[in-house]
Structure 1
Amino acid sequence: MLGVGPPVTPAGRPSPHLRRQYVPVSALGARTGRRVVRRAVAAALVAGAVLTGTAAAPGAAGGPPPVGHGPHDEALQRALAELVAAPGGPPGAIAVLTRDGMRRVYRAGTAEVGTGRPPRAGDHMRIASAAKAFSGAVALSLVDRRALGLDETIGERLPHLPVAWHAVTLRQLLRHTSGLPDFSRSKAFQDIVRADPRHHFESRRLLDFVADQGLAFPPGSRYAYSNSDNIAVALMAEQATGRPYESLLRELVYRPLGLRETSLPQGYRLPRPYLHGYDTAPGEPPEDVSEAVSASGAWASGGIVSTPADLSAFIGGYAGPGLLTPVTRRAQQDFLPGGASQPAGPGTNSAGLALFRYDTRCGTVLGHTGNTPGYTQFAAATPDGRRTVTVSVTSQVPLDPALLARLRTTEEKFVCALLEHGRP
C-alpha cells in the first residue's frame, strides 16, 4: 500500500468512451469519508461530462523534441489508451520516456473528467510511495557527507523511540528489513482517517501510533514493506543535521536535480494545474479524490507532490550517478532478491536502499512505484541515469488484480521501448 493514507479498492466501470457524470472534489464532504475512506481502511488490512478514451498525440505536452516516430510509438500509445479503456481503468494516464535528454510523452484519457483536458508532463500529482526514494536520496546524500552512517542505529540517533527498536540500522530501514510495525495499519490511525480524511497529523509523531509494539522480526532477518521505515529515516536525517526534512529535500535533492515543481505539503491541497485522481465503484460515478486526504498522514513515506517531468528528472539522478558517490551507490544497489515495491513493478523485483531493481524480459531498470487514493506511479531509469521512464495513472489500481496485471504489462512495454537500441 502507501501514499497519502491507506489505499482504496479500485472497481470496474463502463468504457471511458461513454458519457459519464462525476462528483467534483468540492462536493465530496462527508460522502468521501463514508465511501472512499471506508474502503481505504478495509484495503489497508488486505494489502500491506465526457471522458474520452482517445489518446492524445505523443509529445503534445511540450518540452524537448519527441524521440522516434512510427509503428513502435503507435504501439505504446495504443497500450496506454487500452489501459484507460479497460474495465476499472484510470480516467487518465501519462508516460514519459527520456533518452539522452530527449523526451517523448504519451498520454490517454483526460486530466479532469468532464473537461477533455489531456494529461501533461507539467501537471502536479501525488507520487505516493515513490516519495520513499526521495527519503533515500536525502539519507544517502548525508551518508556521502558523513553526517549519517548506514550502520547507525535508531538507538544512537533516536533514543526516544521504543527500546525494542533501538538495534535497527539506517540500512535496514532503507531496505525494509527493519521489522518496524507499520503505523498506517494501526487501528488508531485508521480510525482518525475514517472519521476525517483531511485530518492534520503531526507528521513527526506518526510512529507514536505503534510505539507500544515491538519489532515484527529480528532486524535484517527478512523483508517486509513498512511505511514506518521512511518516517524513521527522515527523523534520523533531521537529528543528524538539526534541520527540517523539507529543508533537506530542497538542498540535497530538488536543487541539485533541478526539480522546480516538487514539494512536500502538509495539507490536502494540490498546486495548480494538477492531474485529478479518481475513485470508482460499481454503479456509482467516479469521485474526484485528488484533495480528499491530507498529505500529513504520509509525510516522508508518501506525501510528496511532483509532476511527470520532475519525477523523470529525479529518478534519473537518483538511480544514476548524478546524485551519489560511487561508494554510496554500491551500497544503494546491493539488492535483496524478492523484495518488491508496492505495488510490484514490472518483471522480477529486488530491493535495494530505497530503490528497487526490475528485471524485465527486455533488461533491467532501477526505480520505485507507489499508489494512493487517485494515483498509481512507476518511475525507473537505466543505471547510467541517461534513460528514464515514468508511468502515472489517475486511479489507484493495485487491489484489482486484473487491472494491476494490465498496468504491469503496460509498464514493461515502456521499459522495453526505453531499452531498445533504435529508439525508446
Structure 2
Amino acid sequence: MGVPPRSRFRSPPVRVARSPQVRLPLVALLAAACTAGLVHAPAQAAEVAADDNRALRRQLQELTTAPGGPPGAIAVLKRGSHTKVYRAGVAETGTDRPIEVTDHMRIASTAKAYSGAVSLQLVDHGKLRLNDTIGKVLPGLPRAWHRVTLRQLLNHTSGLPDYSASPEFLALVTEDPRRHFDSRRLLDFVADEPLVFRPGSRYTYSNSDNIAVALMAEAVTDRRYEDLLDQLVYRPLDLRSTSLPQGYRMPEPYMHGYDVTPPNPPEDISEVLSASGVWASGGIISTPKDMTSFIRGYAGGKLISERTRRQQLNWVNGASEPAGPGENRAGLAIFRYTTRCGVVYGHTGNTPGYTQLIAATPDGERSLTVSLTTQVNKTNKPDLLERLRTVEENFVCALLR
C-alpha cells in the first residue's frame, strides 16, 4: 500500500446536516494525550466496604452529580454466572430512562483490545509474528517506520507519530466533525514525520499504533478488518450487538453521550463524530453486556494459545488512556491494573461523550465494566478522573472479595 501525496489521497468531505457545536477543544475531545511510565493509584483512595452495595451505588451516583460529571453511569459486576448491575442517572437527559446493559455506546480506546484479539490470533495461526515489521508487512508505509514491529505497536513502544494529534487531521474534524475519512489512510496524516523515538526504547500511547495493527492484519489475510473482527472476535464470544461502523449514527437503543461543561447544560454529542476517523483505534460500538462477554474471554486468555498469552503478558511501564484503577502496566493490547485488593487485566477508553473501563481477573471468571456518558481524561477533567479511578478501584475490590 503506497502513500501518495496528500493532494491525491484525501477523502472529500461528506455533506451532512450541520452537526452540533462542540464546546471543548478538539484536542481534548479526541483524547490524543498520552501517558508515559507507571501510573499509581490516587493517594486518597476511599477505604469503603467494597462489598457494600449501597456504598457502591452511592459512589456511582456521586459521579453523576459531581461538577462536569456524566448524566448517566453503569457498572456491571459479574462473578461466574452471577451478574450485578449498578446504575446512576439516566440514559438520556429530559427522561427518566435508566441505562440498560443492552444500550449501545461508543467503546472508545477499549477497541484497541479488539485489534489485539485479532492480531494475536493471527500470530497463533502463523499469519503474523510478533517480530514482523512494518517494512515486511506494509512496505508502502514510510521507510522511516519500517523497523517497527507488531509487538511494539501492540504495547505502544513503536514511536509512531499520533495521527489524531496532527494539526491537519484536527482542522478537518473541526471543520466537519461528521466528515467521512478513508480509515485505511489515516496514517497518511503523519506519513512525512519521523518516528518520535527509537522503537522499543520507551512507552508512548498512540492512536496510530492500532491503525497499523489493523492494516497488518488485513495485509496478511487479504480480508477487511471488519470481517476479521466478526470471524475472530464477535462470533467466538457471541457478541451480537457489537460493530465497527463508518458513520456517525448510533443504533437504537443507546445511552446518550454528553459534553458536560458547567455552567452550560449537558449537550448531546452522541452523533457528533464519524467513527471513520478513529476506526480500529476507537470506532467500535457495543453494549455493557457484550463488553462483559468480551473482556471475560479476552483477559481470560480464551482466544489465544498459552504461548502467545505469555508474550502478551510481558509488562512494560505504561498506562492506558485514561489511566485505569491502581498501578498501570502495559502488555500487548492489554493493561494490568494492580489495586489494593488484587490484580485485573483490561483496558480503558475515552471519546467525546463516553468513558469506559473493562477489566477481568486473569482467569476471566470475574469481570467489571464501567461506562460513563461523558468524556473524562487527564486533560479535560483531571480531578474527576482521579475520583473515577478511586470508584473503579472500589468496584474492583468488590469484584475480588
- State the TM-score, normalized to the length of structure 2: 0.90
Aligned to 2:126: 146
Asked if 1:129 corresponds to 2:109, the answer is yes
In percent, how many aligned pairs have the same letter? 65
Structure 1 position 284, deviation (Å): 1.7
> Quick check: 1:373 aligned with 2:373?
no
Q: Tell me, yes or no, if structure 1 residue 32 matches structure 2 residue 13.
A: no
- Helix, strand or coil: the match of 1:350? strand
Other structure's SS at 1:285 match: coil
Further displaced range: 365-374 or 278-287: 278-287
Residue 173 of structure 1: aligned partner? 153
Shift of 1:29: 3.4
Supply the AA of the counterpart residue of 2:304: L
Q: Secondary structure at the match of 2:117?
A: helix
The 3-state SS of whatever aligns with 2:52 is: helix
1:45 is displaced (CA, Å) by 8.6
Q: Displacement of 1:46 after TM fit?
A: 7.9
Alpha-carbon offset, residue 41 of structure 1:
2.9
Letter in 1 for 2:373: T
Equivalents in 1 of 2:221, 2:20: separation in Å? Answer: 43
Between 318-327 and 186-195, report the one with greater CA deviation: 318-327
Question: Which residue does the alignment assign to 1:386?
Answer: 365
**8 Å Cα contact 1:41/1:194 also seen in 2:** no
| Aligned twin of 1:414 | 395
Alignment match, 1:363: 342
SS at match of 2:26: helix
Using the TM superposition, give the Cα deviation of residue 42 of structure 1 relative to its aligned residue in structure 2, in angstroms. Answer: 5.5
> For the structure 1 residues 370 and 42, does the alpha-carbon distance in structure 2 shift closer, same or farther, using more than 3 Å as the test?
closer
Distance in 1 between residues matched to 2:387 and 2:367, nearest whole Å? 21
- Structure 2: which amino acid aligns with 1:403? L
Q: Which consecutive residues of structure 1, in runs of 5 or more, have no partner in the other structure? A: 1-27, 49-69
Cα deviation 1:24-80 (Å, max 9, x = unaligned): xxxx935415x34xx1236669824xxxxxxxxxxxxxxxxxxxxx97111111111
Instruction: State the Cα distance separating 1:402 from its structure 2 match.
Output: 1.2
- Which 4+ runs in 1 deviate beyond 6 A? none
The match for 1:220 among 180, 200, 203 is 200
Displacement of 1:308: 0.4
The whole-number CA distance in structure 1 between the counterparts of 2:205 and 2:125 is 27
CA distance in 2, matches of 1:414, 1:45: 25
Tell me, yes or no, if the aligned pair for 2:29 and 2:375 is still in contact at 8 Å.
no
> Which residue matches 2:54?
74
- After superposition, residues 4-403 of structure 1 pair within 5 angstroms as 29=18, 31-32=20-21, 35-36=23-24, 39-41=25-27, 47-48=33-34, 72-336=52-316, 338-398=317-377, 399-403=380-384
CA gap 1:385/1:30 in 2 versus in 1, 3 angstroms: closer
Question: Are the counterparts in 1 of residues 73 and 87 from structure 2 also a CA contact under 8 Å?
Answer: yes
AA partner of residue 150 (structure 2)? L
Q: Which amino acid aligns with 1:177?
A: T
Q: Give the drift of 1:99.
A: 0.7
Tell me how many residue pairs correspond in the alignment.
368
In the TM superposition, what whole-angstrom CA distance separates every residue of 1:277-303 from its partner, at most 9, and x where no partner exists?
Answer: 000223322110000100000000000
Look up the match of 2:385.
404
> Contact between 2:32 and 2:206, CA under 8 Å: does it hold in 1?
no
- Residue 321 of structure 1 deviates from its aligned partner by 2.6
Map of 2:3 onto structure 1: none
Q: Give the unaligned 5+ runs of structure 2.
A: 1-16, 35-49
Alpha-carbon distance in structure 2 between the residues aligned to 1:216 and 1:71: 45
